[in-house]
Amino acid sequence: MQSNQHPHPHIHPHDGHNEEHFESSDFLKDIVIGMSDGLTVPFALAAGLSGAVDSTKIILTAGVAEIIAGSIAMGLGGFLAGKTETDHYQSELRREYYEVNHFPEVEKQECREIFEDLGLSQNSVDIIMDELSKDKDKWVKFMMRFELGLEQPDEKRAMKSALNIGGAYIVGGLIPLSTYAIFNDVKTGFMYSVVITLIALFIFGYFKNKVIGQNPLSGAFRTMAIGAAAAAAAFFVAQWFEHM
C-alpha cells in the first residue's frame, strides 16, 4: 500500500542497456510494493486477532480472506490504474496535437518558457523553437515529456504488474500465517509469527534498500519497525475492542 511516492526510476530513453535496467527495476518495484504490504497487513491482522480470539481457525480464515482481498485490491487496482494511465496519456497526446495545430503560438510560448527557465538567451530560444516547430511529432513529444512530465506508458506492463504485485502480496502474507497453521495454538502461533515475520521484514527491508541504493541496514530496521508498529497497534486495539 505504499503507493506512488517511490523514487522515480531513471529514464534513459536512448540507451538499450538502461532500458533493460528500467524494466527489471519495474519488476522489483512491483515485488517490493506487494511484498511489503503482504508481510505487514496479514501479519498485523493475525497479531491483532491473537489478542482477541482463541481459535487459530478464525485467525487463519480471516488471514486468508485478507490475503485474497488485499491481493485482488492491489493487483486489480494496479492493473486498472495502469489502464487509466494509458488512457490519460492518449488523451493528453490528442490534446497536444490539437493545440499544436490550432494554437501554435500559445504552444510556442509555453515551450519558450521551458527553455528560458533554463537560462537560455532569447537568441538561442529562437533557434530552438524554429527547429522544434518544424516537426510536429518531435514538438508534441517534447511537450508531453518536458511540459507535462508524461512518458508513454507500456500497456503490457499493467497486466504483468498486477500479477507481480498480487503474487508478491500472497507470498508475503502466507509467511506470518504459516505458524498458526503449524502450531494450531494461538499463543505459540503468534509468538513464532512475530519472530519469523520480523526476520522476514528485516531481510526484505535490507535487500529492498540495497536495490534502490539506500543504506540497507537502516532500511531493514525501518521496514521491521513499520511491521512491528502495525502489529502492536492492531493487537492492542483488537484486545481493547474485544473487551469493550
Question: What part of residues 173-232 is at the interface with a second copy (CB under 8 A)?
Answer: 209, 212-214, 219, 222, 226, 229-231
Determine the interface stretch with a second copy among 98-106, 131-139, 184-192, 195-203 (rule: CB under 8 A).
131-139
The three three-digit cell numbers of residue 162, written as one number: 498486477
Three-state secondary structure of 202-224: HHHHHHHHHHCCCCHHHHHHHHH
> With contacts defined by CB under 8 A, how many residues of the chain interact with a second copy?
100
Q: Least Å distance between CB 183 and a second copy? A: 18
Q: Using an 8 Å Cβ cutoff, are 183 and 192 in contact?
A: yes
Q: How far is the CB of 187 from a second copy (least distance, A)?
A: 17
Q: How far is the CB of 161 from a second copy (least distance, A)?
A: 7
Binding range to a second copy, per CB under 8 A, among 100-108, 189-197, 234-242? 234-242
Burial readout 117-128 (b: 16 or more C-beta within 10 A, e: otherwise): eeeeeeeebeeb
Residue from 16, 102, 149, 156 binding a second copy (CB under 8 A): 149
Residue 163 CB, shortest distance to a second copy, in Å, is 13
First to last CA, the chain: 30
C-alpha closest to that of 144 among 191, 181, 91: 91
Closest CA to 1 of 75, 57, 56, 61: 75
- Residue 3 interacting with a second copy (CB under 8 A): yes
All three cell numbers of 182, joined, read 503449524
Give the per-residue contact string, 52-81, with a second copy (x = CB under 8 A; - = no). Answer: xx---xx-xxx-xxx-xxx-xxx-xxx-xx
